[in-house]
Amino acid sequence: AAWLRGDRAGVLAAAGPVHERALRLAAPQRFELGHWLARAGVSVPVDGATHPYALQAAGQWDKAAELWRAAGCPYEEAAALAQSPDPAVKLSALTALDALGAKPLARLVRAELRDLGVRRVPRGPYAAARGNPAGLTDRQLQVVRLLMANLTNAEIAERLVLSVRTVDNHVRAVLEKLDAPTRRRAAQRAVELGLTAAGET
């Protein structure tokens, strides 16, 4: 929580002492604690560990993301991808974070993208209460965003922590509401209706 609000001193105060004890005990929590210390700018030993948090602390975000995906942890996967220096990968992570409703981390990623000079950074999904021409629900807007990222239904299910059958139903509803015979056409219709342009800056 301290890291998400930009309080690096708070990260050090919370994780530092416990990390030292975890190292002495060789406790598995040392990897997660070391990861947070690394995010706060502290160099930590990773001992050649293959735990995804240890890989992130060592700057191997891509390998960490693969392990988080295999473990069924979409938030952690997106957080690992967000460590990439590549704006395209960061944008992919942002899409996943928006779909998960992970607003604090999504805000940080947006700021990083702007610092990297990305000119059109998506603002994020909008609430159904704000309305949209197609009458899509919040969840359907999330599905549209992931369709536009060329994710399969299985990948969307993983990102949104839903069953594939539930995603199948959402995709079917999206295609119907957008009067689109294919997923590609649904993505095009979303652009035409301003469902994405209105969410960019």
Q: Which CATH class is domain 128-199?
A: mainly alpha
pLDDT in tens, 87-145: 999 998 998 888 787 889 999 999 999 999 988 888 765 544 345 667 788 888 889 88
Ordered by start, the domain boundaries in the chain are 1-59, 128-199
**Residue ranges of the alpha helices (H) in the chain?**
8-25, 29-39, 52-57, 61-70, 74-81, 87-100, 103-115, 138-148, 153-160, 164-177, 183-192
In angstroms, the CA 141 to CA 135 distance is 9
Identity at 67, one-letter amino acid code: L
Report d(CA 144, CA 138) in Å as an integer.
10
If you average pLDDT over every residue of the chain, what do you get? 86
Give pLDDT tens digits for 49-87.
Answer: 899 999 999 999 999 999 999 998 999 999 999 999 999
Cβ proximity of 159 and 74 under 8 Å: yes
Q: Which of 43, 75, 78 is nearest to 59 (CA)?
A: 43
Q: What is the tens place of the pLDDT at every residue in 142-201?
A: 898 899 888 999 999 999 989 999 999 999 989 988 888 999 898 888 877 777 643 443
